[in-house]
Structures are given as structure tokens and as C-alpha cells.
Amino acid sequence: MQQHVLKMLTISRLASALVLTLGALSAANAAEQCFAFRAGATTTYGAVDVTVSGNCVDNAVQRGTFAVGTAQLMGGASACTYTFSKPLLTNSVSIQVEGLQNNGNSLKVSIDDELYQSAAADIGAPLVGSTSTSALQILDTGYIGVQSPSASGTISLTNNPPATLTSLRVAKNGQPSWIKVCADDAGLPAPVTASVPVPTLSDWNLVLTSGLLAGVGFFAFMRKKRAGRPAA
């Protein structure tokens, strides 16, 4: 009995250590994924299937910090819609922008078909290494750049968005510009799983249980010893 209790306690501690280790590995393996346009096709990124639709196209030439085929060219009045097979945490999603001007340009974002209200806190610094060295600016519910040099930067959705999203639409008008939508592998909400209680004993309970077992064994031994004595 005592050995069985010790085994249960050891297994419980090993299980806890394994859970912590797997959690650390999951966090360490998280990485940013950026979505390419593949007309009529669904592409898998990590644990998420992504479909990109609309009248945007992948960039055919290097544009600033965007290598060929890694971003979407948006010319004139155009839109890109990114549909995800699983909900993503909204705070893991970012939109990188290159070449945004202000001559009729306006870039707007919708989350699950609801227009998002832009905010100054959304805008990051111009992209490092970009020739579009001006910062993005706010215009009504969207973003604009400047005429020359054009603007670049990373947009994060900070203005009270829903916690998760399954689709993201980026629309613009005016002169051509380029966007790259990215999300983190860690941006999948943690699955809800039923907890299974593991029977364990604290160290003090283990001591008391051991003492109780020793006492029972002692009395059983004494009883057997007395029963074996010859009658007087």
C-alpha cells in the first residue's frame, strides 16, 4: 500500500513537470506567419488554413522590405480579404504597409465584416530599410500616408477590437501600395479542456498514512504472535 501511494505521488509530479515543459516548448516554437495570395486556393500556416480573396495580387517584384511573392499589391480601388479556419487572437495580427500616399489614398480595415475604427496607437514606426520613410497617419476610420516620400509602417489593432477574429478585410483606394498581413502561431486561443483530477497526497498526509500503515502492521503482528502462544 505504501509503495502504491509513493508511485502515485511520483507520477503526479512527473505529469506536472511534463505539462510545464510542453508549455515552454510551445511558446518557444511560436513564430510569425505572413499570408500570401493564392487565387482560389487555401494555404496552411502552422495550425491555421488561410484563404485570401479579392482583387489584390502578390507583388511580382521586390518592393521596399517586401520580397517577391510575400505581400499583396493593391492598386486603385481594391480589397484583400483573409479568412481563417480557426479564430485568431486579434492582438496577434499585424498589417505591414509600404508606399501609402495621401493623394486620394485611404486604407481601411474590417474585422469579421465590421469596419474597424483606426486609432493613433495602432501605428508603428516606418519599416526599417524601407524607401517609404514617412509615418502613417489617421484619416477618419482609416489610415493615409503622405505624398513624398510615401509612408510605411506596421498597423496593430488596438482600439477595443473583438478578442478574436476569423476574417480580416483590408481595402484602399488611390495610388498603388503594398500590404503584408501577419499573425503569430501563438495567436490561437487556448483550447478549453476538461480537467481530470489526479489523486495526490501532500507530504504530511503521506507521513500520516505511512504511520497508520505501520501501526496497523504492528498490531497485526502482535495479534498473530499472541495467537501462536501455547495455552497455559
Query: Judging by DSSP bridges, how do beta strands 142-144 and 137-139 pair with one another?
Result: antiparallel
Would you tell me how many other CB atoms lie within 10 Å of the CB of residue 103? 12
Cα–Cα–Cα angle for 97, 99, 102, rounded to 5 degrees: 105
Query: Class of the 30-187 domain?
Result: mainly beta
What does the domain layout of the chain look like in residue ranges? 30-187
The reported pLDDT for the residue numbered 24 is 33
> Pick the residue with more confidence: 189 or 167?
167
| All cell numbers assigned to 69 | 511573392
Residue 166 contacts by C-beta under 8 Å, 6 or more apart in sequence? 83, 84, 86, 87, 88, 112
The residue type found at 40 is G
CA diameter of the chain: 118
Residue 7 has pLDDT above 60, yes or no: no
Residue 163 has pLDDT above 50, yes or no: yes
Binned at pLDDT 50, 70 and 90, residue 27 comes out as very low
pLDDT tens digits, one per residue of 189-222: 665 555 556 556 566 666 777 777 777 776 776 7
Q: Are 157 and 110 in contact (CB under 8 A)?
A: no
Answer positive or negative: Cα dihedral of 158, 161, 163, 167: negative
The reported pTM is 0.68
Chain-wide mean pLDDT for the chain?
Answer: 78
Stretch among 15-24, 33-42, 95-104, 138-147 having the lowest mean pLDDT:
15-24
